[in-house]
Amino acid sequence: MIETLFALSVLSIILLLMPKLQVEQMDKLELQHFLDTLEMDVLFLQNTKSTQQINGIYFLRFYPDHYRILLKHSTQIKREYPAQFSLETSNPKDVEFYAGGVTRNPQTIRISLAGEPYRIVFPFGKGRYYVEER
């Protein structure tokens, strides 16, 4: 009987710790999903600008609670940020691309996710972007 009580107490402690680990893992997955989606959106912008024959102005604009892909100042795609996400750069410039997909205005955008600081760097050139943990 004592062994059964001991085994049940150990099992209950493990079960109490499990939801906290799952929540932390879900936050990490949510950040990774957001960064993957942003990468695909930047690739979409570069490919569209590279293959488009007309001179459309495609750019990526960051807002405090979402970002948008715009064509000639009309919204094409709107993406909401994750729940624990905050944009630390007060007024980021629009991210635009030249005809070959080259970044027109390189910049760094500072963000925070669940208190962890990150930098999204849009370098000059054909590279998409990269994320640095500060």
Helix (H, G, I), strand (E, B) or coil at 43: helix
Q: Render pLDDT for 28-38 as a digit per residue (tens, 0 to 9).
A: 888 888 888 98
Handedness of CA 58, 59, 61, 66 (dihedral sign): positive
DSSP state of 104: S
Does residue 67 or residue 48 have the better pLDDT?
A: 67
Supply 2's token pair: 């004592």
The answer as to CATH 3.40.50.800 being correct for domain 22-133 is no
Rounded (5°) CA angle 42-103-60: 45
Q: Where are the domains of the chain?
A: 22-133
- H or E, element range at 86: strand 85-87
Question: For the chain, how far is it from start to end, CA to CA, in angstroms?
Answer: 53
Q: Is the pLDDT of residue 4 over 80?
A: yes
Q: Tell me, what's the pLDDT at 55?
A: 65
With bands split at pLDDT 50, 70 and 90, how would you rate the model's confidence at 56? low
Question: How much is the pTM?
Answer: 0.74
54 has a pLDDT exceeding 80: no
Residue 11 one-letter amino acid: L
Reported as type and span, the H/E element at residue 27 is helix 2-51
What sign for the dihedral angle of Cα 54, 44, 38, 19?
Answer: positive
Residues 15-25 pLDDT 10s = 887 777 777 78
DSSP state of 11: H
pLDDT digits (tens, 9 = 90+) for 61-91: 888 889 998 887 777 889 998 887 888 888 8
Average pLDDT, the chain: 83
Residues near 127 by Cβ (< 8 Å), separated by ≥ 6? 103
The confidence score (pLDDT) of residue 130 equals 84
Residue 126 clears pLDDT 80, i.e. is over it: no
pLDDT at 128: 72
